[in-house]
Amino acid sequence: MAATPDPSVQATSAVSAQRSFIVDSFRGQIYISDQLDVQDTPVYDTVTYAASATITTPNSQFFTNVGSQSGKSYVQTNMTQSQKLIAPEAFSVFGLRFYFDGSILRSDLNSLFQGFVYEFWLGQKPYQRAPLYHFSAGMGIDGYTTKTNESFYTNGSPNRDSMHVLQIPLVIANQMQFYGQLVGSNFTLSASGAGAILVTELVGLYARGVQ
């Protein structure tokens, strides 16, 4: 007769497996496992343009214009320090979403997608560079309406399974510089549109100080 599994042993094994997964996700940095609280929660930032505004590489940098001086609320960003996480925080990036608000004019959206690539930099090196549609957001408004003056646009299907997932996680180590940006020819949004609200979200494990 087979022995009944001991629940306490199974629980201990599950915790050990989870601990190993977390440590491996941060490439074995020891301080992660014993000094920080690790949670599956995102890091995100928003760049907003009014109608007639010109999109350039310098003014499209994500994770840069943050903090109290930016005027952004938690709706727009959860970062407080430009291009860095607060010490001793770190982040293991499993996925990268590029999202745009559905109010954008379709012609502006087409020009944006045809004229720019998205880059994600760690330190002095771009670790991601691809057309915008490559970074499927996996989120946004989806549905149908009988109103002829309404429409919805999303970057990919709005569900978590369709977001852009990295096969090799990128680790943002403590105090490492990082940012995202659009690279392409300068483009001026239509005066008759609603401008553009662009969002980058890093999905993965966020290691923060224990409190």
Q: Is 4 part of any domain?
A: no
What is the model's pTM?
0.79
Higher confidence at residue 203 or residue 147? Answer: 203
Q: Is 2 part of any domain?
A: no
Question: What is the domain extent for residue 85?
Answer: 38-209
Q: Is 31 part of any domain?
A: no
> How many domains, the chain?
1
pLDDT digits (tens, 9 = 90+) for 81-125: 999 999 889 999 999 999 998 888 989 999 999 999 999 999 999
Q: Is 201 part of any domain?
A: yes
Minimum mean pLDDT among 5-9, 31-35, 154-158, 201-205: which range? 5-9
Residues sharing a CB contact under 8 Å with residue 43, sequence separation 6 or more, in sequence order: 63, 78, 79, 85, 91, 201, 202, 206
3-class DSSP state of 165: strand
Q: Is 192 part of any domain?
A: yes
Q: Is 134 part of any domain?
A: yes
3-class DSSP state of 70: helix
Handedness of CA 161, 90, 77, 18 (dihedral sign): positive
Minimum mean pLDDT among 28-37, 71-80, 184-193: which range? 28-37
The confidence score (pLDDT) of residue 9 equals 46
Q: Is 24 part of any domain?
A: no
| Burial degree of 69 (CB within 10 A; 0-12, 13-18, 19+) | exposed
Q: How many CA atoms, within 13 angstroms, populate the side-chain half-sphere of residue 30?
A: 0
Residue spans of alpha helices (H) in 1-145: 7-25, 30-35, 106-115
